[in-house]
Amino acid sequence: MSDASQPSPVLPPSIPPLADLLRDAHVVALPLRNRFRGVDVREALLVEGPNGWTEFSPFVEYETEEAASWLAATIDFGWGPSAPVSRRRVEVNATLPAVPAELVPGILARYPGCRTVKVKVAEPGGTLADDVARVAAARKYVGDDGRVRIDANMNWTVDEAVDALLAFAPYRLEYAEQPVRTVPELKALRELAAPLGVPIAADESVRKATDPLAVARAGAADLLVIKAQPLGGVTAALGIVAEAGLPVVVSSAIDTSVGLSMGAHLAASIPSLPYACGLGTAAMFTSDVTREPLLPVDGAIDVRRVDVDVDLLRAAAAPDIRRAWWFERVRAAHAELERRAAS
């Protein structure tokens, strides 16, 4: 891994004119079947570049500097060079929101053939007992030969994480994703979790970090969760994977099928994928923007570009005030990318 302490600013190979990004762009609002990360409706801006449809969908609370990296991904997938792919299908996990245990079978049935479940835990307002019941229900659903992983989204202290991992021990976790907030905390927890046989995965410590390689450099994680949009696109993410030298899981950011296509192309370009990827999340929506969404079939999704459907775009169109808000967001992110390129 490189010894550089500071990464280069995220930039696409080239920056198309702002008019090309906004011309014929569509802003959609897709309802989720169950609340996830506090989100009930996911908004996204979709635009067709020379390579095909691409997506810009940073979460609404993200400021311009962070959103600019997502726009770099939009440009990379729609206008940039295509990375060679080594597989046409990508194994995916089922994603289980923080729901009561009795709802688990119905939700997991939306992921046919998936033998891995990622369980959201440590949600504000929930209890460890709620989490244990949800994890137990997931384990029961996939059976002894299935895999169960958890994602705490930085919501535990080190001591709380140790207590939780001990409570989950009977259910044989595949790994624990971002249980704590900082890289030093991850490193401390990794050492404490080793006797329990629970690998530690880093997500936010990669995609929201000034230096996405810091966690690998510190030896603070066993694997990395990689997301194409937050890291600036397929090209930039592949560079991080190569330098980190750790196993990775490619995951989504509650993308539409267009964004999932970007993630699938990233996953297909990585030589070794020892874990199921978190790219089956189209199953979380009540509708999508294509007649052929990237839904899990036999536990995997196809690696392909998505053709959006005009009627579905119209049906999912966000109100005019939200469309204007997203257009202004693209303008600000575009200006930030141009500033980075000039510096």
Q: Which pLDDT value is given to residue 7? A: 66
Supply the range of the domain harboring residue 332: 18-80+311-342
Residue 140 annotated among the catalytic residues of the structure: no
Quick check: is 119 in a domain? yes
Question: Does one domain contain both 248 and 331?
Answer: no
Residues annotated in a binding site: 151, 177, 203
For residues 187 and 288, state if they share a domain.
Answer: yes
Q: Is residue 8 part of a domain?
A: no
**Residue 333 sits in the same domain as residue 237:** no
Residue 308: CB atoms within 10 A of its CB come to: 21
Instruction: Determine whether 118 is an active site residue.
Output: no
pLDDT in tens, 200-242: 999 999 999 999 999 999 999 999 999 999 999 999 999 999 9
How many domains is the chain partitioned into structurally?
A: 2
Tell me if 320 is assigned to some domain. Answer: yes
Pairing mode, strands 248-251 and 223-227:
parallel
- Do residues 105 and 190 both lie within one domain? yes
Helix (H/G/I), strand (E/B), else coil: 301: strand
Residue-wise pLDDT for 64-121, tens only, equals 999 999 999 999 999 999 999 999 999 999 999 999 999 999 999 999 999 999 999 9
Looking at the fold, whether 135 and 53 belong to one and the same domain comes out as: no
Indicate whether 317 and 302 sit together in one domain.
no
- Asked whether 259 and 229 are in contact (CB, 8 A), the reply is yes
Q: Does residue 4 sit within a domain?
A: no
Residue of 118, 120, 140, 187 marked catalytic: 120
* Confidence (pLDDT) at 37: 84
Q: Are residues 243 and 98 in the same domain?
A: yes
Same domain, 41 and 157: no
| Judgement on whether residues 317 and 303 belong to the same structural domain of the protein | no
* Claim to verify: residue 54 and residue 166 sit in the same structural domain: no
What's the CATH code of the domain at 257? Answer: 3.20.20.120
Q: Give domain status of residue 13, yes or no.
A: no
Residue type, 148: V
Residues 193 and 300 in one domain: yes
> Does 37 reside within a domain?
yes
- Give binding residues for Mg(2+) as ranges: 151, 177, 203
Q: Which pLDDT tens digits describe the chain residue by residue (343 residues)?
A: 544 445 678 999 799 999 999 999 999 999 999 999 899 999 999 999 999 999 999 999 999 999 999 999 999 999 999 999 999 999 999 999 999 999 999 999 999 999 999 999 999 999 999 999 999 999 999 999 999 999 999 999 999 999 999 999 999 999 999 999 999 999 999 999 999 999 999 999 999 999 999 999 999 999 999 999 999 999 999 999 999 999 999 999 999 999 999 999 999 999 999 999 999 999 999 999 999 999 999 999 999 999 999 999 999 999 999 999 999 999 999 999 999 999 9
Q: Which amino acid is at 113?
A: G
Please, what is the end-to-end C-alpha distance for the chain in angstroms?
26
Same domain assignment for residues 97 and 72: no
CATH code, domain with 328: 3.30.390.10
Which residue of the set 118, 187, 208, 227 is catalytic?
227
Q: What is the dihedral of CA 25, 234, 118, 193, to 10 degrees?
A: -140
Question: Collapsing DSSP states into helix, strand and coil, what is residue 176?
Answer: strand
Centroid of chain to Cα 343: 29
Q: Is 2 part of any domain?
A: no
